[in-house]
């Protein structure tokens, strides 16, 4: 797994006024934390950060961070965004060991065709759109496929039913519902009693 490289500066002004000046200059205030680290306040170039997380792994990318000569392997864990513009306003970087498991959130993609559900005029109801998993950083998948081909009327698919790669395990409730089937409008109308009956 290739690492993106990001250069950071440790000499940034503290406080909201200093953070505002940084953002106007095209930088993002950030903090580095983890075992044996600070927390260390830094600033990173906004464009360079976007490049670092623009690959298939997105925010789960491993980043080689060079903070004025202090070098860390990090992942972007908490991203704060401007409430109106949506631009990144602050980043928390966590120092990680590439050989040890981390918790990461990955998107869930529905694949296949729930034929039985569709033929009964029922609907597929996706209740989870991402899943927290625990695995080594180099084993984090870009996404997890959820095959709905065998979904039955009235049935559901839970976290425990998902096919995960070796070395990848759920970090949360394995009984949580990922996908369920629900009665569609056509099925409800067909099952409703006729007026006057």
81 shares a domain with 8 = yes
Has residue 197 been placed in a domain? no
Assess contact for 42 and 22: CB atoms under 8 A.
Answer: no
Has residue 92 been placed in a domain? yes
Concatenated DSSP letters of 48-97: HHHHHT-STTGGG--EEEEETTEEEEEEEEEEEE-TTT--EEEEEEEE--
92 shares a domain with 120 = no
Judged by average pLDDT, the poorest of 20-24, 86-90, 176-180 is 20-24
Confidence at residue 17, expressed as pLDDT on a 0 to 100 scale:
65
CATH code, domain with 131: 2.170.120.20
Residue numbers of the domain that contains 118: 103-191
Confidence at residue 10, expressed as pLDDT on a 0 to 100 scale:
84
Mean pLDDT calculated for residue range 23-41: 84
pLDDT digits over 106-121, tens only? 999 999 999 999 999 9
Confidence of residue 12 (pLDDT cuts 50, 70, 90): low
- Give me the sheet containing 130-135, strands edge to edge: 144-147, 102-111, 130-135, 169-170
| Total tally of structural domains belonging to the chain | 2
90 shares a domain with 9 = yes
Among residues 49, 76, 96, which one ends one of the domains? 96
3-class SS shares of the chain: helix, strand, coil, % to 5:
20, 45, 40
107 shares a domain with 92 = no
pLDDT digits over 168-182, tens only? 999 999 999 999 999
CATH code, domain with 75: 2.40.240.10
The span from the CA of 197 to the CA of 195, in Å, is 6
Confidence of residue 197 (pLDDT cuts 50, 70, 90): very low
Closest CA to 96 of 5, 48, 32, 50: 32
């Amino acid at each position: 797994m290739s690492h993106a490289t990001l250069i950071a500066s440790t000499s940034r002004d503290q406080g909201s006024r200093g953070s505002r000046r940084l953002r106007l200059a095209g930088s993002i205030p950030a903090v580095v934390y983890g075992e044996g680290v600070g927390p260390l306040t830094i600033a990173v170039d906004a464009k360079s950060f976007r490049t670092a997380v623009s690959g298939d792994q997105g925010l789960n990318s491993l980043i080689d961070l060079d903070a004025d000569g202090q070098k860390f392997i990090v992942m972007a864990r908490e991203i704060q965004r401007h409430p109106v513009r949506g631009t990144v306003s602050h980043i928390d970087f966590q120092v990680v060991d590439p050989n040890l498991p981390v918790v990461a959130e990955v998107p869930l993609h529905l694949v296949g065709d729930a034929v039985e559900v569709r033929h009964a005029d029922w609907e597929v109801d996706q209740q989870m759109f991402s899943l927290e998993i625990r695995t080594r950083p180099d084993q984090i998948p870009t996404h997890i496929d959820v095959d709905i081909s065998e979904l039955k009327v009235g049935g559901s698919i839970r976290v425990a039913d998902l096919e995960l790669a070796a070395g990848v395990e759920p970090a949360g409730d394995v009984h949580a519902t990922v996908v369920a089937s629900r009665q569609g409008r056509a099925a409800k109308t067909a099952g409703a009693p006729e007026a006057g009956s």
